[in-house]
Structure 1
Amino acid sequence: MKTLLGLLFVLSFMVVACSPSQDKTVSSNPEVTSTPVQAGEQKTQNKLLVVTTVAPLTNIVSNIAGDRLEVKGIIPEGTDSHTFEPRPSDADILSKANLIIANGLHLESPTEKLAKASKPKETKIFELGSNTITQDQWLFDFSFPKEKGDPNPHLWVNPKYAEAYAKLAAQQLTALDPAGKDYYATNLKNYLQRLDALDKATREIVASIPAKNRKLLTYHDSWAYWAREYGFQVIGAIQPSDFKEPSAQDVAKLIDQIRKIGVPAIFGSEVYPSKVEEQIAREAKVKTANTADDELPGKGSANAMENTNPEHTYIGMMANNMRIIASNLGGNPDLVKNLNTGNVVGPTATK
């Protein structure tokens, strides 16, 4: 009997010793413990995953999502988003997504095809561009001829459409995570103020450029919606609609066109380096400079919560573009000098 009582005492002591204390949470790893999540906090490992595509969209969404959600862009910067073929690892990321946000308008067709095949059945794919403009507002142009049926998808280059993207993103994130409604609304309000400042600075830049110089010839035709908003004329694109290099005949026509119109500069692309562009500029005797539509300046992460470079943002990209365009078309590049290009959340957030 004494032996039995002694055994029961030892067992009860072991149960007490092995029970978790009230102020500790036991991890699935027995060697790791963590402090319980306080009210209003989220456990990192439990964050919902939002998958995006190109870097500007990722940065816009990240500024709304902040630290409540994990935002991951899968199209690498400096990659042609039109022809990008997703990697096997992207299927794994998409299979874990709680929400997928794309641009749409046929921009990321291979990526969206993989997303539909890989994502959980309940995961939504939301297209920002397709929900910002209607089909009668689509633009077709040199790189995107109407007979091919693919509209120009580069809406985000227009800051007014970037505002629409931010609002739509806030709606989708709130639907995904209703408890974060006020948080997303605050981030949206702050971010829209930054985008409004970008819009105003852009209008000042355009006004500083002589009217006769408000013409764009670019390598890849990504400025159509920006030009429509700010009173520029897109006079052509070097890159044909098949995304290959132009023929000798196409080059000769472009050189003649530049000479007749008299623009002082043409603009290449960070994503599409081309010797043809340099040849055209040399023979037409104009300057050349590179702009960007989906590659953010400097090195960094498009995810605001991982970004350590305050210029590696959508607004930073557009401010840099305005500086380049103004410098080469006779405008005042200093008009964007005081523009706040930082994120509204994350390590580089600025007031």
Structure 2
Amino acid sequence: MKAFVYLSLLALTLTACNSSPTTNTAVSPSPAATSVPAQASNQQEQKKPLVVTTVAPLTNIVSNIAGDRVEVKGIIPEGTDSHTFEPRPSDTDILSKASLILVNGLHLESPTEKLANATKPKDTKIFEMGSNTITQEQWMFDFSFPKDKGDPNPHLWVNPKYAEAYAKLAAQQLTALDPAGKDYYETNLKNYLQRLDELDKVTREVVASIPPQNRKLLTYHDSWAYWAREYGFDVIGAIQPSDFKEPSAQDVAKLIDQIKKVKVPAIFGSEVYPSKVEEQIAREANVKTANTADDELPGEGSANALENKNPQHTYIGMMANNLRIIATNLGGKPELVDGLATANVVGPTAVATNSTK
């Protein structure tokens, strides 16, 4: 009997010893407890205001100011003709959730604005960056955008000085949407304006390196008007007609004669508008061809700064590439661009000072 009692007590003791680690573990953070902050973080992420933009340069400029306080989403895919872009069914859902919609204006995104007005929340504002940067008296009409058609040239952002205005307007609109972020947006704006000021300085240096007689642009798509007005270039023509179709044989013949007369060294095309006509004109006029970009950022990456791991896939990176191409083909010094910082001021490459070299 004593042996039985002794064995029973021994078993109870061993059971208590074996269960003690479980008791100690219970007071430590459990997996369920550690997942609560992550869930809260996800909820905060979902509560970020959604700001919808259109073309990639605009998206990149806005996201440099917005940083991580809002979600910025551009709905016009890069490499797409923004003039003829028709919103997709999926864009309806995005626009219906937008807290703010920032577009270029000047009739560039009319179908998108129409859809936005029909689907956005009642209190969501649609703000036109271009229309609030210049007055109607400052609109430019030209070869691809004749005055009798009524649509002005909308490519303001190609001019870095107007890109500065876009950044300032973005900061104003984001602050109105999210007043608590005012200091944050002002800091990002200050840093980004420094980058844009450097772009402006480098642009003037590159232009000064090009012989005056070569400061002429013949482009396929007419997107350089506001840049040319700012930096002392002469846009002598555009190959693409105002209906965005191929030029007629008569138009081609006139352009060839014009090129020979004014002695343009090169024709600047666009990867968005590949054209055999451009090659034909260059061949018959005996000039070079090169592709520039107005709304497609270089290399792979995202126009949203927070998602972007490529320091060249930025608005400034696009303009740096353009400067190199223009200088190379017009007798200037492309190496002047090498020291230009192209990375975003927020996001994965914010601390980088990479050039496009």
* TM > 0.5 fold call: yes
Question: Structure 2 matches for 1:52-201, cutoff 5 A?
Answer: 52-201=53-202
The alignment-based identity, stated in percent, is: 83
Q: Distance in 2 between matches of 1:114 and 1:220?
A: 26
Q: Distance in 2 between matches of 1:99 and 1:207?
A: 40
Deviation at 1:270, TM superposition (A): 1.6
Structure number with bigger Rg? 2
Q: Distance in 1 between matches of 2:56 and 2:332?
A: 28
Q: Distance in 2 between matches of 1:303 and 1:119?
A: 21
Q: Distance in 2 between matches of 1:88 and 1:110?
A: 13
Deviation at 1:33, TM superposition (A): 2.7
In the alignment, structure 1 segments of 5+ residues that lack a partner are 1-20
Residue in 2 that maps onto 1:279: 280
Aligned pair partner of 1:33 in 33, 36, 39: 36
Q: Distance in 1 between matches of 2:99 and 2:349?
A: 26
TM-score between the two structures when normalised by the length of structure 1: 0.90
Q: Distance in 2 between matches of 1:261 and 1:218?
A: 14
Deviation sequence 1:121-163 (CA, Å, 0-9, x none): 1000000000000000000000000001100000000000000
Deviation at 1:35, TM superposition (A): 4.8
Deviation sequence 1:85-134 (CA, Å, 0-9, x none): 00000000000000000000000000111010010010000000000000
Q: Distance in 1 between matches of 2:43 and 2:35?
A: 18
Tell me which amino acid in the other structure corresponds to 1:274.
S
Q: Aligned in 2, Cα 1:45/1:221: closer, same or farther, shift over 3 Å?
A: same
Deviation sequence 1:174-204 (CA, Å, 0-9, x none): 0000000000000000000000000000000
Tell me which amino acid in the other structure corresponds to 2:344.
N
Q: Distance in 1 between matches of 2:271 and 2:60?
A: 18
Residue in 2 that maps onto 1:221: 222
Tell me which amino acid in the other structure corresponds to 1:70.
E
Runs of 4+ in 1 over 4 A off after TM superposition: 35-38
Deviation at 1:45, TM superposition (A): 1.3
Tell me the number of residue pairs that the alignment of Structure 1 and Structure 2 aligns: 325
Residue in 2 that maps onto 1:51: 52
Deviation at 1:36, TM superposition (A): 8.1
Q: Distance in 2 between matches of 1:89 and 1:212?
A: 49
Deviation at 1:44, TM superposition (A): 1.0
RMSD after superposition = 2.0
Tell me which amino acid in the other structure corresponds to 1:60.
I
Secondary structure class of the residue paired with 2:307: coil
Tell me which amino acid in the other structure corresponds to 2:36.
T
Q: Distance in 2 between matches of 1:126 and 1:211?
A: 39
Q: Distance in 2 between matches of 1:223 and 1:58?
A: 19
Tell me which amino acid in the other structure corresponds to 2:191.
N
Q: Distance in 1 between matches of 2:165 and 2:265?
A: 33
Q: Which has the higher helix share?
A: 2
Deviation at 1:37, TM superposition (A): 6.5
TM-score between the two structures when normalised by the length of structure 2: 0.88
Q: Distance in 2 between matches of 1:42 and 1:276?
A: 53
